[in-house]
Chain A
């Protein structure tokens, strides 16, 4: 289904058409649920939190100032609510002096993976993603699947932009290493 811009639905809701909120829920439910699931590790709890967050967002919709994206605002609500529920520590800061840029473009993993069947590619990336910690998986989901910018992720998680960059770089490296290992196994 093709959705319209979030602000279109928000304006309709604020003008009294509550049913337009269903479109916003349908559009964001998977990512909201995924964020909650990565923090809570329990489908039932994640679904409950996701529901609560959509309700909270609805009730606070008038206070949303459209300075940021609705999705960033909503994901921040989900992140904070899920973290409060677990009383889990927020994402740790990464010391900047550990930030070493590795060049991982040399071994041609990209071109090798490209030659593999799309279904197999999917399995490979899912296996590689399973090796990530919950925090890493959350960041990568926000960045690649949620298409959030570094700034958006910084706003959602409360991490500084440089820390988000460092973490994402490390996760990419980790994913790349995992894919290389899987590729080698496939070839052998």
Chain B
């Protein structure tokens, strides 16, 4: 069978392939110079798992949750009391001014529109990333 396959291979490779016109390469290269730049590489979302960014964000969230929650089993955390009694009220006073803005229904409506647009953008981005050539 292998000998037979080699025989056919040899025979078929003798017959030439169809070829395009003589100036084919030139025309392709001409189109390339007229075409836009190489398409930018779109990074896969999974590739972000190899960077420090998601872990830093996760750590920050955990720190905030652990230090602000009332779970009794977290009382052992050093400096937790100081954080709750001194730092948090300071941040609270920082955002008091903004609180008025965010309680306005117009602002809330604007925020809702922005969030919806953001979600739609992410969905579109996700699907266009998945499409192949």
B20 within 8 A of A: yes
Complex Cα–Cα for A128 and B75 (A): 85
User: Is A57's CB under 8 angstroms from B133's CB?
Assistant: yes
* B contact patch SS: helix
Complex Cα–Cα for A37 and B21 (A): 13
Complex Cα–Cα for A145 and B10 (A): 10
Total interface residues on B, CB under 8 Å, equals 33
User: Is A25's CB under 8 angstroms from B25's CB?
Assistant: yes
Are A129 and B32 CB-contacts (below 8 A) given A22-B25, A176-B4?
no
A57 proximity list for chain B (CB < 8 A): 133
B35 within 8 A of A: yes
A residues within 8 Å of B by Cβ?
Answer: 14, 18-19, 21-22, 25-26, 29-31, 33-34, 37, 46-47, 50-51, 54-63, 77, 104-105, 110, 113-114, 118, 121-122, 124-126, 129, 140-141, 144-145, 172, 175-176
B residues within 8 Å of A by Cβ?
Answer: 1, 3-5, 7-9, 11-15, 17-21, 24-25, 27-29, 31-33, 35-36, 38-42, 133
